[in-house]
Structure 1
Amino acid sequence: MVSSTTRRRLRARPRALVAAAVAAVAVLAGCTAQAPADGSSSGSGTSGGTKPLNVAFSVAPTTIDPASGCTLDDARLTMALYVQLLQPGQTTDKNGVPSVDPTTADPYFAKSYEVSPDGLTYTFTLQEGWTFPSGTPMDAEAVKYSLDRTTAIGGCGSAIVNDLYLSPTLIKQVTAVDPTTVTVQLSTPDPDFPLALATPAGSIVDPSVVEANGGITAGKPNEWMASHEAGSGPFRLKSFEPGTKAVLEKDPNFKGQPPASDEINVSWVKTDSAMLLQVQNGELDVATGLSKNSAKSLEGGDATQVIASTATANMQMLMPNDKAPWDNAKVREAVTYAIPYQDILDNVLKGYGQLYYGPIPPSMPGYDASVAGPRTYDLAKAKQLMSEAGVSGPVEVTLDTISGDANQASIATILQSSLQQIGITVKVNPLSESAWGEAVYGQKTQAALRLDGPAVFNAGYYLSYDERCGISYNTGVICVPGNAALLDTVRTSSDEAARTQALNQLQANWVAASPKAILYLDATAVAVKKGTTYLWNPITDMRTWKAA
């Protein structure tokens, strides 16, 4: 069973979710993925980087145990410390430059896999001769132990690797057939299961290390694993000061492709001004988490390039459909036409984002631009809809925001002004992140701003939050008639045409119901020192990064 805390974090904490990208776009000329940022010949991520790579993030992980990690911030170190059966696929852009495709999964520790005709059994053939740093064989028994452990703990990792099927779990049984063969039996067909395995939640841990340090207790996280590693990956954890810094060193005995850097110094810099200063002083090779203003100030510089990437992180105004005035669909629709989206994009995001209106973002496969394109600001239409809603008297709404979040504060001010014009008075209520979580995930809020996004890069996983009526993940208390059945088709059918048709209809139904306001698709701006080899990945993967 998944705890209430886990439920809250499956959708990623608003400030902890760092937007990933379908394609990393260089704001300055000359920076390409997996190529030096000065535009010279490709570094290609080969081994032998003797100069330490200095990397900074704005939000520290709460755990480095892949079975318990809930956010992309929790995943940053685990992707370097562990291997998975599969990894996000790779493709090339129009210029032949490698890039990551998070909508596909390629072999990693599994050399290959087959799926039974009924979609219920996956058979993985593993690499041979791999060992953990302890000398323990990395084999089918280790894979079984790792997947069983993640499910037994019942944390975020279980929800992710089970693709949000929780009762019963998607993974019904894992069998070590022989040292190099593993079968995974599912409780229901799920064509997107490989994508879940390609996340940190699918990491393979060293059973001997885990058992020597607390083992497995059903329903409880392993406290030792929260700050130590039992790794299988290309890096070892040389040192770790939670919330402050970590040092990763290359494992010379790793059997997979060696990492590009011998050592990576990771720091967590919580103050935007401090991170900006470190970038300007040349102290950082890669910096993630800068504010939009700070990122904008770096554009055009001689030493640093800014790479903007968009993925699934989107800013929403929740309008819980069971609470007044949002139980009136006309009022919800009026709000969506009264918001000056372009103003928010230009003045709050400094252009780092994209506009759309629908249940899944443009970056996600299955997005239908014909029905989910940007909603146009139309004050006259908004006023007409309020008139049709038949609402009498003043409407007052309390909008919960996260205290200290500059973007949310700016957006809230814009919403106050724009919604006042259609007769809705907005009282902004800044809350601590924990209090905000209690209000939103406890379904107590009347309205809230939130930056949302899924842990697995597929529409079926993400839509499972809001398209099933009456479940705890459904923070907007959304119940669009017919969408639950359509979601079942999206989740389980192996017929791509049927899945596409169902997904298109689901989006059309959602847009017609106007269940929440989608303000924008967020973009993260990463500052990269020129000459640094940097390859974008939706889940930060530092294996190919290399200092100039």
Structure 2
Amino acid sequence: MQLTGFMLAASLLLAGCGDAEADKAAGAAAGEAGPVTPGGELVWALAGTVTNDSLDAHKAGFAPTTRVMRSLYDSLVVELPDHSIKPWLATSWEISPDGKVYTFQLRKDVKFHDGTPFNAEAVKFNFDRIKDPATKASIAFNEIGPYLKTEVVDEYTVKLYFEKPFAPFLSNAAKVDLGMVSPAAVQKFGDAFPQNPVGTGPFKLKKLTPSTQVEFEKNPDYNWAPSNAKHQGPAYLDKLTVKYVEEEATRVSVLQSKQVHVADIIPPQNLVALKADKSFNVQETELLQVNYSLYLNQQRAPWNDLKARQAVRSALDLDAAIKTIYLGTSQQGWSPLTPHQFAYSSSRENAYKPDLAQANKTFDELGWVKGADGYRSKDGKRLTIEFIDTQGNREKRLDLNSIFTQQLKQAGIELKLVSLPSGTYSERRTKGDYDLVAGSQFSGDPDVLRQLFSTKGPSKQNNIARANDPKLDELLEQGYLEQAPEKRKAVYKEAQEYIIDNVYSIPTYVFQYSVASGSEVKGIVFDYPAWPVFYDAWIQK
């Protein structure tokens, strides 16, 4: 979110590497003007599975899916590392003095993969589709905020109207979640559009094999890359094949055995070895997002008591757990937002620490008594945190939570993990039928906090934090209404402090997204907030 532009400048790539990797990347960049002979197929081992209904820019909310979709869909604008916004499908734009109307001038040479034109009518269709409840848009719905309507001025001029000023809009418009889908394809395929996605991107769908892989081929007509791309015209690669490889050891194995060219989310225990091996390049960058956090259900006792939530946090030695699991490749997160996110506040770094004695004292005072088995109970009920989950060991999260289970037991708390199918998980989360959920949310703008913590966001009372706090609601409303960047930062600083002080979430680790590739692969860069882009990629023969 977190999610976006198309190409980052080389400076971000180098900033995301260690010193040795920066030297390697700089040396490689010097010889990466472009391929002598374009073509070939690049195979990518993806850390995750693209579900059959998720190749729809507006419906997808799962990180592996959005990583894949960046090759399919273009955006109106591109965001650079300094947060400046540059043209892409839109050549220019104006914002009304009251911040409620955005007027875009569009490129006149763009076509969707199905040959239909990209124009003002297409833009109107896309934003109206996201707003339509029947679409069941996911992250995209949050990212249009108080959107009202779109007016077609002429074939290549469009006006977007908002009920209130919405400062994050241009940054959000750069993300793949607000990428442009083909109106004709949506109308043709209906509910099957997610399996038949059509955008304007440098690659188009060739074949989707459910639960196994997705194959793309280059769009031969592509000639509208953003200005920070390294070339114009079609992609260098003829084909991009994405294989779903959830098991981390297998991803590393198929990369090392040259069965694939690229693998992402490299396990910590393999990063050092791959970085030292000249046969591979490793690129890392901080994923801009809301950190993977623990959310205790504030609408269920005893977690509706701030003292109980504080005691749970005190019982956790987050730094020790993170060092054990991630071997120094990830650091503890102190805020909901990651450190390089716009408006990140460092004010609560080291503001609390593990304190098992204090956690035990608090639960004693709250009337929870330890039994012979080491667990606490009150009125015949064990002190259990039922933790519902659906994502498995993505980013070694189950491994991390196993340590949390051991730590919480020292305070007499039972952490009970319940793994559920996605549909059942969503139903129970919406109903608030749990003690704890955990998750992250990628985004390039701190307005994502409204989605997770506000009753005025798209999730309303069902926000993941189960927060119902008028002060926090107001702060997060101010955050998107305020147009001045420094004033926005001040609002979000206060919001982050308020969330941490009230233990509305317990941030865990800051995720470093990694991509490893064979040394023959050149030209992979990251978009904003951190997904790999293959438009400029090529394979050295």
- TM surpasses 0.5: yes
Equivalent residue for 2:58? 67
Equivalent residue for 2:450? 463
SS, match of residue 318 in structure 1:
strand
Note if contact 1:298-1:304 (Cα within 8 Å) is conserved in structure 2: yes
Counterpart pick for 1:79 among 51, 70, 78: 70
- CA, structure 1 residues 351+113, in 2 after alignment: closer, same or farther (shift >3 Å)? same
Counterpart pick for 1:415 among 374, 398, 404: 404
- CA, structure 1 residues 104+436, in 2 after alignment: closer, same or farther (shift >3 Å)? farther
SS, match of residue 122 in structure 1:
strand
- Cα displacement (A) at 1:160: 1.4
Note if contact 1:64-1:78 (Cα within 8 Å) is conserved in structure 2: yes
- CA, structure 1 residues 187+46, in 2 after alignment: closer, same or farther (shift >3 Å)? farther
- CA, structure 1 residues 40+128, in 2 after alignment: closer, same or farther (shift >3 Å)? closer
- Cα displacement (A) at 1:158: 6.4
- Cα displacement (A) at 1:468: 3.2
Equivalent residue for 1:451? 439
1:491 aligns with 2:471: no
Query: Which structure 1 segments of 5+ residues have no match?
Result: 1-9, 13-20, 92-100, 215-221
Paired with 1:199 and 1:327, the residues of 2 have a C-alpha distance of: 36
Equivalent residue for 2:129? 149
Equivalent residue for 1:546? 538
Q: Normalising by structure 2, what TM-score?
A: 0.83
Paired with 1:264 and 1:204, the residues of 2 have a C-alpha distance of: 20
- CA, structure 1 residues 413+31, in 2 after alignment: closer, same or farther (shift >3 Å)? same
- CA, structure 1 residues 341+528, in 2 after alignment: closer, same or farther (shift >3 Å)? same
Instruction: Write the deviation string for residues 212-266 of structure 1: whole angstroms up to 9, x where unpaired.
Output: x24xxxxxxx333112233322222233323323332222222313324232222
SS, match of residue 39 in structure 1:
helix
- CA, structure 1 residues 420+489, in 2 after alignment: closer, same or farther (shift >3 Å)? same
Note if contact 2:76-2:88 (Cα within 8 Å) is conserved in structure 1: yes
Task: Name the amino acid aligned to 1:541.
Answer: V
Counterpart pick for 1:183 among 147, 159, 169: 159
- Cα displacement (A) at 1:543: 1.6
- CA, structure 1 residues 26+105, in 2 after alignment: closer, same or farther (shift >3 Å)? same
Equivalent residue for 1:43? 32
1:114 aligns with 2:104: no
Equivalent residue for 2:143? 163
- CA, structure 1 residues 36+495, in 2 after alignment: closer, same or farther (shift >3 Å)? closer
Note if contact 2:73-2:180 (Cα within 8 Å) is conserved in structure 1: yes
Task: Name the amino acid aligned to 1:109.
Answer: L
Task: Name the amino acid aligned to 2:154.
Answer: D
- CA, structure 1 residues 353+178, in 2 after alignment: closer, same or farther (shift >3 Å)? same
Task: Name the amino acid aligned to 1:542.
Answer: F
SS, match of residue 145 in structure 1:
helix
- Cα displacement (A) at 1:153: 6.0
Instruction: Write the deviation string for residues 63-102 of structure 1: whole angstroms up to 9, x where unpaired.
Output: 2222322223222343222322112x224xxxxxxxxx6x
Q: Which of 121-130 and 70-79 deviates more? A: 70-79
- Cα displacement (A) at 1:374: 6.5
SS, match of residue 83 in structure 1:
coil
- CA, structure 1 residues 27+384, in 2 after alignment: closer, same or farther (shift >3 Å)? same
SS, match of residue 185 in structure 1:
strand
Cα root mean square deviation, aligned: 3.2
Q: Normalising by structure 1, what TM-score?
A: 0.82
- Cα displacement (A) at 1:38: 6.2
- Cα displacement (A) at 1:535: 0.6
- CA, structure 1 residues 78+427, in 2 after alignment: closer, same or farther (shift >3 Å)? closer
Counterpart pick for 2:218 among 234, 250, 253: 250
Paired with 2:214 and 2:470, the residues of 1 have a C-alpha distance of: 49
- CA, structure 1 residues 181+36, in 2 after alignment: closer, same or farther (shift >3 Å)? same
- Cα displacement (A) at 1:376: 2.3
Note if contact 1:69-1:201 (Cα within 8 Å) is conserved in structure 2: yes
Note if contact 2:389-2:417 (Cα within 8 Å) is conserved in structure 1: no
Q: Superposition pairs for residues 132-531 of structure 1, below 5 Å?
A: 132-152=112-132, 154-155=134-135, 157=137, 160=140, 163=143, 165=145, 170-211=146-187, 213-214=188-189, 222-256=190-224, 257-258=232-233, 259-295=235-271, 297-311=273-287, 312=289, 314-373=291-350, 375-386=352-363, 389=366, 391=368, 394-395=376-377, 396-402=383-389, 404-405=392-393, 407-448=396-437, 450-454=438-442, 456-468=443-455, 471-480=460-469, 482-531=471-520
Note if contact 1:352-1:525 (Cα within 8 Å) is conserved in structure 2: no
SS, match of residue 261 in structure 1:
coil
- CA, structure 1 residues 468+78, in 2 after alignment: closer, same or farther (shift >3 Å)? same
Instruction: Write the deviation string for residues 352-384 of structure 1: whole angstroms up to 9, x where unpaired.
Output: 322132333323211110224564223344345
- Cα displacement (A) at 1:279: 0.7
Q: Which of 172-181 and 140-149 deviates more? A: 140-149
Paired with 1:442 and 1:47, the residues of 2 have a C-alpha distance of: 57
Paired with 2:539 and 2:430, the residues of 1 have a C-alpha distance of: 41
Q: Superposition pairs for residues 4-23 of structure 1, below 5 Å?
A: none
Paired with 1:11 and 1:439, the residues of 2 have a C-alpha distance of: 24
Paired with 1:482 and 1:160, the residues of 2 have a C-alpha distance of: 25
Task: Name the amino acid aligned to 2:119.
Answer: D
SS, match of residue 28 in structure 2:
coil
- Cα displacement (A) at 1:489: 1.0
Counterpart pick for 1:125 among 88, 102, 105: 105
Query: Which structure 2 segments of 5+ residues have no match?
Result: 4-11, 225-231, 371-375, 378-382
Paired with 1:356 and 1:128, the residues of 2 have a C-alpha distance of: 45
Equivalent residue for 1:16? none
Q: Which of 41-50 and 67-76 deviates more? A: 41-50
- CA, structure 1 residues 356+434, in 2 after alignment: closer, same or farther (shift >3 Å)? same
Paired with 1:38 and 1:278, the residues of 2 have a C-alpha distance of: 26
Paired with 1:335 and 1:298, the residues of 2 have a C-alpha distance of: 37
- Cα displacement (A) at 1:529: 1.7
Paired with 1:117 and 1:105, the residues of 2 have a C-alpha distance of: 18
SS, match of residue 26 in structure 1:
coil
- Cα displacement (A) at 1:428: 4.1
Paired with 1:128 and 1:174, the residues of 2 have a C-alpha distance of: 19
- CA, structure 1 residues 366+156, in 2 after alignment: closer, same or farther (shift >3 Å)? farther
Task: Name the amino acid aligned to 2:253.
Answer: L
Note if contact 1:121-1:185 (Cα within 8 Å) is conserved in structure 2: yes
Task: Name the amino acid aligned to 1:83.
Answer: D
- CA, structure 1 residues 411+251, in 2 after alignment: closer, same or farther (shift >3 Å)? closer
SS, match of residue 508 in structure 2:
strand
